[in-house]
Structure 1
Amino acid sequence: MSPYTIKHLEGISAIAFRSPLILSAAGLLLVASFIRFLLSRPKKLDLPIVEVPGSSDQREALLQGTAQYPDSPFIIKSEWPIVILPVSVINEVKSLPESKVSFTLETKQLLAYEHTGVGDDAHEVLRAIKIDLTRNLASTLDDMQEEIKVYGKVARLVALLSGRVFVGRLLSRDEEWIEATVSFSLYVMRAVHAIKAYPSCVRSIVAPFLPELRKLNEFRARAAELLRPILEQQLAKEKNEKIRRDDVAGGQGIMISWMLKHTPEHQRASALVLVKNQMSLSFASIDTTASAIVAAIYDLATYPEYIQPLKDEIQQVMDEDGCDIDADGIMRFKKAIIPKLWKLDSFMKECQRHTPSLISTANRITTSAITLSTGHTLPKGTRFGFPAWAIHRSPNTPVFNPAKNPSSKLVTEFDGLRFYNYRKIPGNENKQQFVTASPESLNFGQGTHACPGRFFATSN
């Protein structure tokens, strides 16, 4: 047991033993939690377990398992075991409904939703991203193009950029809002690790005493206070101007309007509901985008030979397509320019390949038994995913096959133009882009729950 866990258990024990009532309640809760834990355990699977002796690096286990069992499932042994499926069955499961396999349940368990409040399926957020944000990317570009100082933290930069669209210029520049959203994003994973240091059967007991979880609630409450005036202003505007929900146009902070458009009527006036969705949105945006930017900065510093070709491409495309000039004489990208930056797109994708957010993706938990074409049955409660780390290094994936992409370097090397060279081959022009979500490109997931914000993240 870790010193962290021992320290908090001692503190909890001291509080409990001061009151027989608290001690009795804790005992009953512990028994109930243990029974729930026993009933919720998934059935054991008759599948091979892959682990690399002497190594805790699951990337090695993924590569070994994929090579050893290319056409059948296997289990990666870890704190939270996962069944790795062969890519041949991805089309069978990628769009199965939540009644069969659940992305929401996977995310909730991954982020300890019961205690952190992060990870639920916020339908209004997803609809606002898929329907409104993606469709209105062109109108958001100007809001994100501004020369600003990076305060030493890329997360702050991302919060400033995305916040302009999410909550508008004024609030996105408010130091308290920046502090709340950036700190919330940082503390989510701290809270997850803190609560997961304890067995699941006692988490409900220890959760209220964990400082990381208390911090999350503090940041969420402060954000609600800051967001409430904007919510009230927006609701009053809709009422006074009689704006129909489908008539909301683009603009700064328009994400609030888009989310309200998809929010049930009885929840529209709740600042807590809105801030819960906003904080989840900020966490997803800040965490993933900041990670991608940091990886790109490190890789540019490591491979400076790519700097000039990328600058030349940007200049060439701007010379060909022109750019918008605002009232202050500042040049601004047009949305049409971004898809033409093939080299930049390729460099970003190679950075992501070497430093991915997850090494297995399209992860789900079965909510009922499913049978695969391989003949294997996954019982209810089985966690599964696909070996993205291995697929993005496999010669079975055309872009990594020297015969099909002869201009690229070895798959173990960094090649910032790997995907650019592949797309230059006739017939591949629209394949392997940074935003691509396919069985050969899994960084953004797959199927029904492929990352809906990947287009906005790319614009960032």
Structure 2
Amino acid sequence: MEGNVVTYGLVALATLVYVLRWLKPSRSSLPDIPAVTPTAPILSFYGVFKYFTHSREMIQEGYDKYKGRAFKIPEVFRWMVIVTGPKLIEELRKAPDDTLSFEEATRESLQVDYTLGPAIHHNGYHIGIVRSNLTRNLAALFPDVRDEIVAAFTEAIPLSDDWISVPALETVMQIVCRTSNRIFVGLPKCRDLDYRKLNIQFTVDVVKGAMILNLLPTFVRPLAARIFTNVPSSIDRGMKHLEPIIRQRYQAMEEYGSDYPDKPNDMLSWFMDEAKGEEREVRALVLRILTVNFAAIHTSSMSFTHALYRLAANPEYILPMREEVESIVKAEGWTKAAMGKMRKVDSFLKESQRYHGLGSA
């Protein structure tokens, strides 16, 4: 009951601030970009609430009406601009980071300073590691990845002579989480059920927290973050799983050097090698691992689940892809290079993602 009172109070405050904001002219109203809803102060406020319940319809309406152009939809404290058509999308793609920044947009939409912490925003050294170390080691790690995929599928969807039902997205998330963490932290931790639950729930908590914080005025967010986000408790839970592993690896580094015998070739080791200053602390490393899980699990799971549904709806594509996979594997085995030659599978997955994005916008 007490939590509900706080929630209603914060929402009421946000509503008041929003009304006051729209009663005062703003330089950020983007007058040259047409809107799906009326732009007058009170009417645009109605548009915000309509977007909560009819977002897909509003985006479709804007797309149909302003095809090949940009249009805007009201959010609580700003306009969301959507561009359509090849010409504008290409312009968007080519824009330099100091003009249109994906990183800053992510920081704002996910309220990173509050949901993941300011260190993630101001020191993104993990991004370079994902781009370099992970890409460079994919071929070497491929046997481990395939081993985990096989083990995860066998456990999540047991072989049976009879039909069995499993929830698609939830099942795929378990498989993706296990496989990703085979690269992130290795065996046996990647198979720990509580550890997997933590990483899957962490993503849900971050997105929910960001959604609530984006409804509130800036000056309220530091206080609201303490109520609606649980990053500290997630890190505490992650510490129970990863602190012994990190301490053991630090001890090996002190005794035998940075390239100690049987050093694990995983992302946690890469983080430990690259981290400087406070980022070398156990708690900071745990947060980095939670953050890369946040980036990996749900996006991959949603994309794969969409492809799975599309395959079920279009079974005529099953046999051509199966024949392609079987012929390539027979000739080359299961390798990263072999995967690169599966052009029909690659095309199917790309086309599925083209049809089914991660969100309407």
TM-score range, shorter-chain basis? Answer: 0.7 to 0.9
Q: Is the 8 A contact 1:180 1:219 kept in 2?
A: yes
Does residue 191 in structure 1 map to residue 191 in structure 2? no
Would the aligned equivalents of 2:272 and 2:280 in 1 still touch at CA under 8 Å? no
Correspondent of 1:301 among 312, 316, 323: 312
Where does the alignment leave 5 or more consecutive residues of structure 1 unmatched? 1-5, 15-25, 324-332, 361-460
Q: For 1:94 and 1:75, locate their aligned partners in 2 and report how far apart those are by CA, in whole Å.
A: 19
Displacement after TM superposition at 1:73 (Å)? 4.4
Q: Which range is displaced more, 166-175 or 187-196?
A: 187-196
2:1 is aligned with 1:10: no
Q: Which has the higher contact order (CA 8 A, sep 6+)?
A: 1
Q: Would the aligned equivalents of 2:116 and 2:206 in 1 still touch at CA under 8 Å?
A: no
Q: Deviations over 1:112-156 (max 9, x none)?
A: 223312672652211111111011111111111132322752211
Paired amino acid for 2:102: F
Q: Identify which of 77, 81, 89 aligns with 1:83.
A: 81
Per-residue CA distance 1:323-354 (angstroms, 9 max, x = gap): 1xxxxxxxxx1111111111111111111112
Given that 1:167 and 1:256 are in contact with CA atoms closer than 8 Å, whether structure 2 keeps it comes out as: yes
Residue 135 of structure 1 aligns with which residue?
136
CA contact 1:180–1:220 (8 Å) conserved in 2: no
Q: CA deviation at 1:7?
A: 7.2
Matched, 1:229 2:214: no
The answer for the alignment partner of 1:353 in structure 2 is 354
Shift in Å, 1:270:
0.7
Partner of 1:292: 303
How far 1:356 moved relative to its partner? 0.7
> CA separation of 1:42/1:218 partners in 2, compared to 1, >3 Å: closer, same or farther?
farther
Q: Distance in 2 between matches of 1:253 and 1:156?
A: 22
The normalised TM-score by structure 1 is 0.60
Q: CA 1:233–1:268 in 2, change beyond 3 Å: closer, same or farther? A: farther
Question: C-alpha displacement at 1:253, in angstroms?
Answer: 5.5
> Residue 33 of structure 2 is aligned with which of 48, 56, 62?
48
1:25-71 alpha-carbon deviations (Å, 9 max, x no partner): x9xxx9xxx7xx97xx763323232327996324414533552xx3x
Are residues 1:257 and 2:274 paired?
no
Aligned pairs for 1:200-219 (under 5 A) are 200-210=218-228, 213-214=229-230, 216-219=231-234
Structure-2 separation of matches of 1:44 and 1:194: 23
Provide, for residues 184-204 of structure 1, a one-character-per-residue CA deviation record: whole Å limited to 9, x for no partner. 122222222333344444333
Determine the C-alpha separation between the residues in 2 that align with 1:48 and 1:97: 21
Q: Is 1:283 aligned to residue 289 of structure 2?
A: no
For 2:81, what is the secondary structure of its paired residue? strand
Deviation readout 1:278-323 (Å, 9 max, x if unpaired): 111001100111111111111111111211111111011123x331
User: Residue 72 of structure 2: SS of its match in structure 1?
Assistant: strand
Letter aligned with residue 45 of structure 1: L
| Amino acid aligned to 2:267 | M
Summarize the alignment of residues 100-249 of structure 1 with structure 2, pairs less than 5 Å apart.
Answer: 100-117=99-116, 120=121, 122-146=123-147, 147-148=150-151, 149-150=155-156, 152=166, 153-210=171-228, 213-214=229-230, 216-243=231-258
Contact 1:127 1:262 (C-alpha < 8 Å) held by counterparts = no
Q: Which amino acid letter does the alignment assign opposite residue 297 of structure 1? A: L
**Counterpart residue identity of residue 110, structure 2:** L
Partner of 1:338: 339
Q: Which residue of 2 aligns with 1:401?
A: none
Note if contact 1:162-1:285 (Cα within 8 Å) is conserved in structure 2.
yes
Deviations 1:145-192 (A, max 9, x none): 132322752211111001011001111112221121111122222222
Distance 2:103 2:143 in 1: 33
Matched to 2:314, the amino acid is Y
2:190, 2:196 within 8 Å by CA — same for their partners in 1?
yes
Distance change >3 Å, CA 122–CA 345, structure 1 → 2: farther
- Identity within the alignment, %: 23
Aligned length in residues? 317
1:269 is matched with 280
Equivalent pair of 2:70/2:83 in contact (CA under 8 Å): yes
The structure where helix makes up a greater share of residues is 2
CA RMSD in angstroms, aligned pairs only: 3.6
Contact 2:258 2:273 in 1 (8 A): no
Q: Is the 8 A contact 2:113 2:121 kept in 1?
A: no
2:332 to 293, 317, 322: 322
Contact 1:12-1:209 within 8 A present in 2 as well: no
Change in CA separation of 1:252 and 1:349 when aligned onto 2, cut-off 3 Å: farther
What secondary structure is seen at the aligned counterpart in 1 of 2:352? helix
**Residue deviations 1:391-416, cap 9 Å, x none?**
xxxxxxxxxxxxxxxxxxxxxxxxxx
The amino acid of 1:81's aligned partner reads W
Structure 2, unmatched stretches of 5+, are 38-46, 158-165
CA distance in 1, matches of 2:315, 2:348: 12
